[in-house]
Chains A and B, each alone.
Chain A
Amino acid sequence: MVFRTRRLAVASVAALAATALVAGCATGSGGSSTSGAKGDTLTLWTHNAGNSAELDVVKKIIKDFNGSQSTYKVELQAFPQSDYNNSVVAAASARKLPCLLDVDGPNVPNWAWGGYLAPIDVSGSEVPLSAQLPSTVGRYQGKVYAFGFYDVSLAFFARKSVLKEYGIRIPTLDKPWTKAEFDSALAKLKKSGKFPYPLEMGTGSLGEWYPYAYSPQLQSFGGDLIDRDGYQTASGTLDGKDAVEWATWFRSLVAKGYLSKKSGADPNKDFLAGKSALQWDGSWNAAKNAAKLGDDLAIIPPVDFGHGPKIGGASWQWAMSSTCSNKAGAQAWLKFARQTKYFVDYAEATGTIPATDAAAQQVDGYQPGGKFSVFTRFAREYAVVRPVTPAYPYISTEFQKAVQDILAGADPEKALGQATKDIDTNLKTNRY
């Protein structure tokens, strides 16, 4: 009798094991990688699933690399961007990172500090690191962990004809708008009654866009996300007088009807359709705007709110994981990728700023004097990288929430105060 029971129990266990086995078979051939590489076959992760323009460049580099030598083979795994960071972090917590992966610039310190990235050595590649825009190299504590093929820049887009019509000066690099000028321009545009919201800043897109787009304005006011002297506190910086002044001004944009507290599904489309007069947007839309508006398109430098015009720096970059079992192979890929032609391919496919001058020479519009070359100058002269601290992902989520609250009508001082308090607690408990 007992045997019967045992047989049943054994059968149950066997059934479970069989399922595990069947499923295991199904994955055996898949890309399941225990240490980011199987021998000389390396896995590579990118955030570009569903974004074929950029993904095609990555595929091309991999194909060229695999064809250029016979030792290593790189295999691609693409993730959708909206969940990329979380997917990577979950995988990292289970020690399942691939050998090669791309990382959003501001997250480099966090991942390096957490021990997920290994420093890279790309000396001897075709393009030296020194040739790159500084914001496209991911450094932490004096070591290089990542590099990018491009950077992006922020700017205001407008129609020259519209600005002329309302007697608004078209600013130049040498003489950007001041806060007073900007405010009066917005007032004029609003008064015209032609634009429901004259200013478009993409308030509807949550996530990293918030700190990327708005913290440079905060910095131009004199505030910042954290006190960069030692990165130990946000107090006095994120909730200081200048920061509160920025937040109050930001809030007033909504109150005065200049800015929608939640922009539409496609802000750029709204701008091109004439629903807004000024769009604070990334350089990636410049080519599209130029194609539609031609010479009427004005690319306007960021406003100088008192401490100089600012934009954010650092976009997606390539890195190597510390758990990679084939670091030589990973380094080989990274070095191979550092060819000017790929810098060109990237910039052309994504409409971004090539990270080197040599590449810029070959990209339409980005040659010296080209219609988009101002972006390169913005990136060189105005770019401020987001705080180089492992706490950045946390700071970013707190800032996103504060801005969202301020847009929704929260008291600016209180919203920033709460974010500052949370960030300081985080800094203290985590002992970065």
Chain B
Amino acid sequence: MTTLTAARERPRPVRRTRKTHARRREGLTALGMAAPAVVLLIVFVVVPLALTFALAFTDARLISPTPARFVGLDNFTRLFQDPVFFKSLRNTAYFAAVVVPLQGGLALVLALLVNAKVRGVNFFRTVYFLPVVTSMVVVSLLWTFLYRQDGLVNHVLSALTLGHVEGRDWLGDPATAMPAIILMSVWQGVGFHMIIWLAGLQTIPAELYEAADLDGATRWHRFRHVTWPGLRATRTFVLITITIQALGLFTQINVMTEGGPLDSTTTVVYQAMRTGYEQQQTAYAASISLVFFVLVLAVSLVQRFLTREKD
């Protein structure tokens, strides 16, 4: 991501007065052009976010006859004694820890499969991408159906294993609910990152492969020494986007399990929504959001640090 901030020096007109003048004009024009987006982001992200953080230090409720009062760190004291919060943190981390490598890896496999120059490759690209285009709410409803005790997943499993695998209620069992949601989430999202990998693959110069072939490299060596290093920048992008998406896990939980069974699928964002909206505890939910924001920021910074380009 560093390339995006690296301004390339370009030759400027020589005459000094014109230069400063042009500079000023350039700066003002730039501000004008960036303004609509910046204003919209301020109005619809920054301000409500600031409000959220401010609320975290009050006792505001969604419904209340009395105005909110400042209560200092009360919400946070409560939060750190809340067993469900720690379960939410753990589940969110679990989900992200599995989904990031799984979705990223599978997406790469798909990208390699559809990067081949064979007939019908466009068809496969399209099919793999279809779930991405489908709404997560629809996908969640559909899979709730498929995951039932008498659902299709069990029937397919039983047919494939000639009846050796006992059907189960995937979303009703604390041991399998989260894995089931992970599988579905990967199914839905992997197509997008396949395309991203594909983009990366196509930027690797063909000459590198030709050179490798001349050296008599095996396929694995080609992948290890040409493809993988060539995907360096794409890797960072895939890593960061999947992580952010995974840490924000909400819709699937809300539609499919409501955090159950036995808190096995509750996540931080789900808990924030449940407490803030259904339980009307706006301020407490805001404190969850604040802690979440700090954690995500920390994770992103660590990732940025680990994947930084060593110049």
Contacts and interface: CB of A to CB of B under 8 A. Distances in A.
Q: Direct A–B touching in the complex (beta carbon < 8 Å)?
A: yes
Interface of A: 1-2, 4-6, 8-9, 12-13, 15-16, 86, 89-90, 92-93, 110-111, 113-116, 206, 261-262, 264-265, 390, 393-394, 397, 401, 404-405, 407-410, 418, 425-426, 429-431
B261 A9 contact: no
A262 B63 contact: no
B221 interface: no
A114 B279 contact: no
B63 A111 contact: yes
Contacts of A4: 25, 29
Chain B interface size, under 10 / 10 to 19 / 20 to 34 / 35 or more: 35 or more
A424 B31 CA distance: 53
B36 interface: yes
A116 B172 CA distance: 38
14 contacts: A4-B25, A8-B29, A12-B33, A13-B35, A16-B39, A89-B280, A111-B63, A115-B65, A116-B63, A264-B148, A394-B279, A404-B261, A405-B263, A425-B78
Nearest to B145: A265
Contacts of A92: 63
Contact of B63 (A9, A16, A93, A401): A93
A116 B280 CA distance: 14
A116 B63 CA distance: 8
B279 A393 contact: yes
Contacts of B279: 393-394, 397, 426
Contacts of A6: 32
A5 B172 contact: no
Interface string B66-82: 10000000100010000
Given A262-B172, A404-B260, A409-B262, A93 B62 contact: yes
A405 B261 contact: yes
A279 B249 CA distance: 36
B229 interface: no
B274 interface: yes
B88 to A, nearest CB: 13
A89 B63 contact: yes
A1 B63 contact: no
B223 to A, nearest CB: 44
Contacts of B31: 5, 9
A323 to B, nearest CB: 13
A233 B310 CA distance: 60
Contact of B62 (A89, A206, A262, A429): A89
B32 to A, nearest CB: 4
Contacts of B65: 113-115
Which of B64, B259, B274 has the most C-beta atoms of chain A within 10 angstroms of its own C-beta?
B64
A390 B66 CA distance: 13
B40 to A, nearest CB: 8
A410 B25 contact: no
Nearest to B22: A1
B35 A12 contact: yes
Contact of A430 (B40, B61, B259, B260): B61
B28 interface: yes
A1 B25 contact: yes
Interface string B36-74: 100110000000000000000001011111100000001
Interface string B249-286: 00000000011111100000000001001111100000
B32 A8 contact: yes
Among all A-B residue pairs, the 9 with the closest Cβ atoms: A408-B261, A114-B63, A5-B28, A8-B32, A9-B32, A1-B25, A12-B36, A262-B172, A115-B65
Nearest to A9: B32
Interface string B161-197: 0000000010010100000000000000000000000
Nearest to B284: A429
A202 B31 CA distance: 59
Contact of B278 (A110, A397, A410, A418): A397
A209 to B, nearest CB: 13
A215 B274 CA distance: 22
A404 B265 CA distance: 13
Contacts of B64: 114, 430
A204 B159 CA distance: 27
Interface in B280-311: 280-281
B278 A408 contact: no
B32 A12 contact: yes
A114 B63 CA distance: 5
Contact of A16 (B29, B36, B172): B36
A342 B227 CA distance: 74
Contacts of B74: 429
Contacts of A408: 172, 174, 260-262
A148 to B, nearest CB: 21
B21 interface: yes
B13 interface: no
A224 B85 CA distance: 27
B83 A418 contact: yes
A12 B39 CA distance: 11
A277 B88 CA distance: 39
Given A262-B172, A425-B78, A1 B21 contact: yes
Given A8-B29, A16-B40, A404-B261, 6 more contacts: A206-B258, A262-B169, A393-B278, A409-B174, A426-B279, A431-B66
B260 A5 contact: no
B174 A110 contact: no
B280 A8 contact: no
Nearest to B171: A262
A89 B278 CA distance: 9
A235 B270 CA distance: 27
Contacts of A394: 279-281
Contact of B36 (A15, A113, A116, A410): A15
Contacts of B24: 1
Contacts of B40: 16
A367 to B, nearest CB: 41
A423 B63 CA distance: 17
Contacts of A397: 274, 278-279
A108 B149 CA distance: 38
